[in-house]
Amino acid sequence: MRRPQWWAVVLGLALPGAGVAVAHPLETQEPGAAPPPEAEVRATADPRAGWRHEFSPAWHMATFWSKEAGSHYTFHSLSIGYLMSVNAAGPFLHLSWVIPLQARQDGRVHSVSSLYQNGGGIDLLLGWQWRKTVTAEIEFEGGPGLHMNALNLGGKPGLTNFNALQLGPGGMTVLRWRPGWRPHKVGWTVGAVGALGIDLLDPLRSNDLRIGVTLRMGVLLGVDLP
Amino acid sequence: MRRPALGTALLLGVSLLACLGPYPNVGEQLDGVDLVNGTSYIALDAGAARILILAAFDGGSRAPFTRIDEQQPRAVQTLQGSYFGDATNTLSVTFSSTTLFSLPNEASEPVSDRTGAKRTELSPPMESEALIETRTEEVLDLSGSRDVAGHYLTLLGRTAVITGTDATATACAFHLANLAVESSEARIPGFNSAGMTQYLNRVEFFQGILSGTVSVGLVGLFSPVVTTSYSDYADFEGVLLDGVQVSSTNASGDGALSGVLGFRIQRKGLPDLEGQVDYRAVSLTGGNESGDYLVRLDGGTEFAVPTGRRVPPLEQCLGL
């Protein structure tokens, strides 16, 4: 949500009977209305406050090494994600649906669609973030979290399935532009996201995972509904 | 989009219950057996059976072989590769194994912790040196490497020892047929483990080492029904399988077997011995069998052959 709305909400709560003002920006109020207490306005006017809900298409790469065979696997995928975070310091969630496109093992390159059917995965990053404002309209967000990368590729007839469930620490950064332009009272944000996971466990695969690195880089598009 | 979503949900569900063993190769074939058409020999050691199939050289200096070890309770190791002689010593033979199929004995493990059957490519190949001590039409004595050594007799010659349709002959015929069943199970990746989930809603076919196919399919994740169908299946000379075995269990492997599997025992100089095993009296607890196999030879009556150790032992059945 954009700043004028927050002011309106605070005013609405602070001034009983002024509920009408809730849905309107400050500048539309009557000239005679009492100004809000200065300290309170300052406290709630933090542009970093509030929820961010964003849609994010991204490139997703998972590369990992196995213990038993010593193989090196890399999967390049398209991911479609939902990003959420709260306030200047608060929790965040990045949940992505992953569509694998290319699989590599020890230098051999395969098109996923030539070997597998019904393939897909989920990338989840859950953690704590902090926001900083770079300028009035540009915001930076980053923080650590716990990462999960689940992949399930159903083999075509005669071929084995390939699946993995990799867990480990991770982190993310978001650079967000929040212009003041609000067509039809809908604010919007655009930006870029980068996330990294260092995966150390795979309970599905008897911990055959030596180490894995998951990288996700993409754009984001969010809306602030009035 | 629905099926990938279901697949991923399945993956997450399975991950809570089980592990599937090490990562497979990308695009790995489920069936990786080499067909070996040759003479089959059997050696026995305290109830454990070792079957050796040697293809003829056919003018060359190298030919394929298969060695199947079956321990009791069920544990199978099958080696495949090629063997070749030493030009300076015609009695010296090297077996070069390139593939290992294994089905470990995991009876004491919960199904969710089992690795089950798997195939391993041996690179570099595992070399086993052996010396031919005796070789006649019926006998092959190999000394040297423990991987292949043994006092072997031709299988077709030994199956001829099984005659009649009484309880002993019926049990013996079943034990031989069951060698082929257990051998086939080692060839199905994930068999006897949570790895069977990869056959969910699909049917996959595996070649017999000698002939025919076995197919496997699974329906239902939390109450899995696994159907294993044999069609003229033979891993070695002397035993052909044709029929169906069905296991219906819960996710812990508790349930029962059903289905009827026909078998044909080929005997040198005698007509084939045909029969069938009905699995309806076999229970499964944690994936382990108990109860009786109901076995009948053509022209005979049905006998209950208990699960577990072979009674009578194979040594007695084959007159060794």
Q: What is the mean pLDDT of chain B?
A: 90
Kindly identify which residue of chain A lies nearest to residue B217, measuring between CA atoms: A157
Please report the ipTM that was assigned to this predicted complex. 0.79
User: Per-residue pLDDT for B220 more than 70?
Assistant: yes
User: Per-residue pLDDT for A158 more than 70?
Assistant: yes
Mean of pLDDT values over A92-115: 96
Chain A residues touching B5 at Cβ < 8 A: 120
Kindly identify which residue of chain A lies nearest to residue B14, measuring between CA atoms: A204
Closest CA to B238 of B257, B259, B210: B210
Closest CA to B120 of B96, B140, B104, B101: B101
Q: What is the mean pLDDT of chain A?
A: 83
Task: Tell me what pLDDT residue A9 has.
Answer: 36
Whole-number Å distance between alpha carbons of B78 and B62:
19
State the pLDDT confidence band at B18, using cuts at 50, 70 and 90.
low
Kindly identify which residue of chain B lies nearest to residue A151, measuring between CA atoms: B8
Subunit contact A160:B30, Cβ cutoff 8 A:
yes
User: Per-residue pLDDT for A27 more than 50?
Assistant: no
For the ranges A54-58, B134-138, B223-227, the lowest mean pLDDT is seen at: B134-138
State the pLDDT confidence band at B277, using cuts at 50, 70 and 90.
very high
- Evaluate whether B133 touches B142 at the Cβ level (below 8 Å): yes
Give the CA angle between residues A129, B11, B286 to the nearest 5°. Answer: 130
Pairing between strand A89-105 and A51-66?
Answer: unpaired
Task: Tell me what pLDDT residue B90 has.
Answer: 72
Q: What are the backbone dihedrals phi and psi of residue B89, each rounded to the nearest 5 degrees, phi first? A: -145, 100
How many interchain CB pairs under 8 A, A with B? 98
Q: By the CB < 8 Å criterion, does A210 face chain B?
A: no
Mean of pLDDT values over B16-37: 83
- Evaluate whether A42 touches A85 at the Cβ level (below 8 Å): no
Those residues of chain B whose CB sits closer than 8 Å to some CB in chain A are 3-5, 7-8, 10-12, 14-15, 19-31, 115, 189, 198, 202, 204-205
User: Per-residue pLDDT for A8 more than 70?
Assistant: no
The tens digit of pLDDT for each residue in A43-55 reads 456 888 888 999 9
Nearest C-alpha of chain B: how many angstroms from A221? 23
Name the range with the highest mean pLDDT among A4-8, A68-72, A106-110, B31-35: A106-110
CB atoms within 10 A of CB A27: 7
For the ranges A116-120, A181-185, B129-133, the lowest mean pLDDT is seen at: A181-185
Chain A residues touching B115 at Cβ < 8 A: 206
For the ranges A43-47, A121-125, A214-218, the lowest mean pLDDT is seen at: A43-47
Whole-number Å distance between alpha carbons of B177 and B182:
9
User: Per-residue pLDDT for A193 more than 50?
Assistant: yes
User: Per-residue pLDDT for A122 more than 90?
Assistant: yes
Which amino acid belongs to residue B125?
A: P
How many Cα atoms sit within 13 Å of A91 on the Cβ side? 4
State the pLDDT confidence band at B221, using cuts at 50, 70 and 90.
confident
User: Per-residue pLDDT for B267 more than 50?
Assistant: yes
Mean of pLDDT values over B226-255: 95
Subunit contact B23:A162, Cβ cutoff 8 A:
yes
Mean of pLDDT values over A192-204: 96
Subunit contact B7:A154, Cβ cutoff 8 A:
yes
Kindly identify which residue of chain A lies nearest to residue B114, measuring between CA atoms: A206
| A residues 20..79 contacting B (CB < 8 A) | 66-69, 71, 73
Task: Tell me what pLDDT residue B87 has.
Answer: 64
Subunit contact B15:A203, Cβ cutoff 8 A:
yes
Task: Tell me what pLDDT residue A77 has.
Answer: 97
A49/A32: higher pLDDT: A49
For the ranges A16-30, A182-196, B287-301, the lowest mean pLDDT is seen at: A16-30
Q: What are the backbone dihedrals phi and psi of residue B22, each rounded to the nearest 5 degrees, phi first? A: -65, 165
For the ranges A38-52, B108-122, B263-277, B287-301, the lowest mean pLDDT is seen at: A38-52
Which amino acid belongs to residue A162?
A: F
User: Per-residue pLDDT for A165 more than 90?
Assistant: yes
Tokens linked to B177? 């047929």
Burial class (CB in 10 A: 0-12, 13-18, 19+), A137: middle
Whole-number Å distance between alpha carbons of A58 and B303:
65
The tens digit of pLDDT for each residue in B58-84 reads 777 899 999 999 988 789 999 999 999
Kindly identify which residue of chain A lies nearest to residue B29, measuring between CA atoms: A159
**Is the previous residue joined to B312 through a cis bond, with omega within 30 degrees of 0?**
yes
Mutate to test the interface with A, among B2, B23, B106, B202 (most CBs of A within 10 A): B23
State the pLDDT confidence band at B178, using cuts at 50, 70 and 90.
very high
Task: Tell me what pLDDT residue A24 has.
Answer: 34
Q: By the CB < 8 Å criterion, does A154 face chain B?
A: yes
Task: Tell me what pLDDT residue B10 has.
Answer: 52
State the pLDDT confidence band at B251, using cuts at 50, 70 and 90.
confident
